[in-house]
Structure 1
Amino acid sequence: MDLTDNIKNLDNLNAYKTRVQYLKGETIFKQGAFAPYVMYVVEGLVKVYLQTGIDKNTSISVAAEGEFLAFSSVFGEPVHTYSAQAISNTEICMIEKESLKKILLENPEFALQITSQNYRNERHLFEVIKNISYKQMRGKLASALLYLSQEEFLKKNIFEFLTRQDIADFASISAESAIKFLKEFEKENIISLNGKNIIIDDAAQLLNISKNG
């Protein structure tokens, strides 16, 4: 049984959860705001990002169906440590954190599934830090494109919901640089551009740029 099925089948959680619909572009929560709930993505795509300046954001990841947001609040974190915005129309399940904590203690298999998911998220965060700290701009953009081209995101046509600024934020570069290098990748037959859509034609070469860039 996967994590989504487990959430649906935890009858004793029903009294402590509320479903909320968010339209594309709506803020789900902001960094620094009080965190009374754990959020669970029922449907849609959510951008997770850090506000690193007045007008500067660094996008960290995309949360899709079956993922938790603000999970650290279960362990006593009183405020949100990042911001979240709906990339597409999104349905969120808001769960009272103390109730979820109790259920985790009573359901070890469920707790282990969430631990495994959080481990994968942690590994991705290390990749983000490495991407920002050590890579040149072409390498940063290549890494961002590889991340955004995961099958689960492509199934939801993620690039149709992202602006070039959004892609630049995932690469931690300027929008102008992102546009420049996207065109370079297209000339090198690494990607194809079709409106907002981006198709990876040579994943091996893009991975090479990501590793060495």
Structure 2
Amino acid sequence: MYVVEGLVKVYLQTGVDKNMNISIASEGEFLAFSSVFGEPVHTYSAQAISNTQICMIEKESLKQILLDNPDFALKITSQNYRNERHLFELIKNISYKQMRGKLASALLYLSQEEFVKKNIFELLMRQDIADFASISAESAIKLLKEFEKEQIIILNGRNIHINDAAQLHNISKNG
């Protein structure tokens, strides 16, 4: 599946009502790419969070395109490397950071320019943000209010504006 337009939340279902948000896929990204290489079971789920257009591509056709077009195959390999690097960062965040660091990392990820242009925070519930940080919604709400008091962020309804990115990076780094 290829994201033509829109934003898609990629997540793992970790329990009956528990999710761990992994990433946001946007225009130009593939979903379920591992199935091209024989993985019959998808390891994650995806949900459109904005008006989204997805193009379904037959697995064998995509394999042939990759074989016939090495430049395209290299571009896809580079994209998969970035995704893998993000997953390793996510594992590090979950394993070694305290809640403030986890939330700071999640906010930094979600405040990337491509997401901010699409008002990502308006599309996400507080539970979604908590799921990106692998913390409870209650903890996320409490920490967001603390970050606001410390003037690191500005809260306006669902919207979150990063006021002090350097401080947020510091919290994320020292976790």
**TM-score category by the smaller chain?**
over 0.9
What one-letter code is carried by the residue in structure 1 that aligns with 2:77?
T
Separation in 2 of the partners of 1:92 and 1:85? 11
What one-letter code is carried by the residue in structure 1 that aligns with 2:63?
K
What one-letter code is carried by the residue in structure 2 that aligns with 1:134?
Y
Structure-to-structure mapping, 1:7-22, within 5 angstroms: none
CA RMSD of aligned residues (A): 0.5
Q: Helix, strand or coil: the match of 1:68?
A: coil
| Residue of structure 1 equivalent to 2:31 | 69
Q: Which consecutive unaligned segments of at least 5 residues does structure 2 have?
A: none
Identify, as 1 or 2, the structure richer in strand: 1
Separation in 2 of the partners of 1:115 and 1:50? 22
Q: Helix, strand or coil: the match of 1:95?
A: coil
Separation in 1 of the partners of 2:44 and 2:169? 28
1:49-88 deviations in whole A, cap 9, x for unaligned?
0011111100000001110000001110012110000111
TM superposition outliers: structure 1 runs of 4+ over 4 Å: none
Separation in 2 of the partners of 1:206 and 1:55? 29
Separation in 1 of the partners of 2:144 and 2:33? 35
Could you tell me which of 50, 74, 79 is aligned with 2:12? Answer: 50
Separation in 1 of the partners of 2:30 and 2:42? 13
Separation in 2 of the partners of 1:180 and 1:157? 22
Query: What is the TM-score of this pair, normalised by structure 1?
Result: 0.81
What one-letter code is carried by the residue in structure 2 that aligns with 1:145?
L
- Asked if 1:132 corresponds to 2:94, the answer is yes
What one-letter code is carried by the residue in structure 2 that aligns with 1:102?
Q
| Residue of structure 1 equivalent to 2:64 | 102
What one-letter code is carried by the residue in structure 1 that aligns with 2:13?
Q
Q: Helix, strand or coil: the match of 2:129?
A: helix
Q: Helix, strand or coil: the match of 2:22?
A: strand
Separation in 2 of the partners of 1:102 and 1:166? 37
What one-letter code is carried by the residue in structure 1 that aligns with 2:155?
L
Q: Helix, strand or coil: the match of 1:85?
A: strand
Deviation at 1:199, TM superposition (A): 0.3
Query: What is the TM-score of this pair, normalised by structure 2?
Result: 0.99
Deviation at 1:185, TM superposition (A): 0.2
What one-letter code is carried by the residue in structure 2 that aligns with 1:100?
L
| Residue of structure 1 equivalent to 2:75 | 113
| Residue of structure 2 equivalent to 1:78 | 40
